[in-house]
Amino acid sequence: MGLNVIMMGPPGAGKGTQAERLARERGLLKISTGEILRDALKEQTPVALVAKAKMDRGELIDDQTMIAIVRDRLMRPDAERGVILDGFPRTVAQAEALDRILEERDSGPLVVIDVVVPEEELVRRLASRRICSSCGTNAGPGDKSPACSRCGGVMVQRADDNQEVVLERLKIYQHATRPVLEYYRGRPTFRVVNGTQAPERVAHELDTLIDDAASVAVPVKTTTEGAL
C-alpha cells in the first residue's frame, strides 16, 4: 500500500528540501504546488498569468484552482505509489478537499508533518535563499555557487523572497494555514519536527516519525471530520 505525506510548515522551514529527498528515497511523487505554479509561469499558461500578481504579493491563489491542480496530479498513474505534498493544503478548505480526494483514491495512509522554525530564523533564511531558474532546485546550506548543482542553471533569488513579501507570506501563513494544523493535530498520524536542526538531523528524525506514524495509520475517512 502507498504512503502519503503532507509537509506542513511556514515558508523557509525546509519543507521543499526534505520533500525532495523523501520523494527520491521512497519512490514517491513529490507534488509542490509552488513549483507547479512557477513552472506554469514559465510556460505562460492562462492560470499562471492570473496567479502571478498574487504570487508576487505573497497572497494565496484561490482554493478552487489549487484543488483542481492537486486533484489532477493525484489522479495520475505515477501518484499511485503515494505522494509527498509540499505547499498544499494551505487552507482548511484545501485540507477538506484533500481528504475527499484521498478517500476516492483509496491509496494508503496520510501522515502529516509540521516542520517548526521560529519566525526570526525564517526571515533570515529566506533573505539568502536562492533557487535554480531552470529546474527550481533550492541551493543547499552554504552553497554560494552561481550555478545549480543539479543542472548547471543560473541560481536566482525568488521574486517573492524579498523582505516585504516574506513578511506578508508569514502573516498569511499565520491566519490561513495555521488553522490547517489544528484540523490535523488530533490525528494519530500527526507529527512535529524541529526544523532548526541541521538538515541531516531533520531528515533522520523525519524518517523515524514517518515510519512510526504510518504504522498506526488508518485509511482517510472524511465522515469523521478531521479526527481520524
Q: Catalytic site residues?
A: 15, 90, 129, 158, 169
The whole-angstrom separation of Cα 113 and Cα 121 is: 19
The residue assigned the cell 513579501 is 165
- Tell me 77's DSSP state: G
User: Of all residues in this chain, which one has the CB nearest to ligand AMP in the complex?
Assistant: 34
What x-and-dash track marks residues 51-90 binding ligand AMP by CB under 6 A? ---xx--xxxx----x--------------------xx-x
**Which is closer to ligand AMP, CB of 35 or CB of 220?**
35
Nearest residue to 95 via CA among 116, 110, 76: 110
Which one of the spans 33-41, 121-129, 136-144, 214-222 is the region binding ligand AMP (CB under 6 A)? 33-41
In DSSP terms, 82 is beta-bridged to: 3
Mask for 106-145, x = binds ligand AMP (CB under 6 A): ----------------------------------------
Kindly state whether residue 173 participates in binding ligand AMP, applying the rule CB under 6 A: no
d(CA 75, CA 146): 37
Residue 108 CA neighbour count, 13 Å, CB half: 17
Return d(Cα 156, Cα 167) in angstroms, integer.
20
Residues forming the site for ligand AMP (CB under 6 A): 11, 33-34, 37, 54-55, 58-61, 66, 87-88, 90, 94, 160, 169
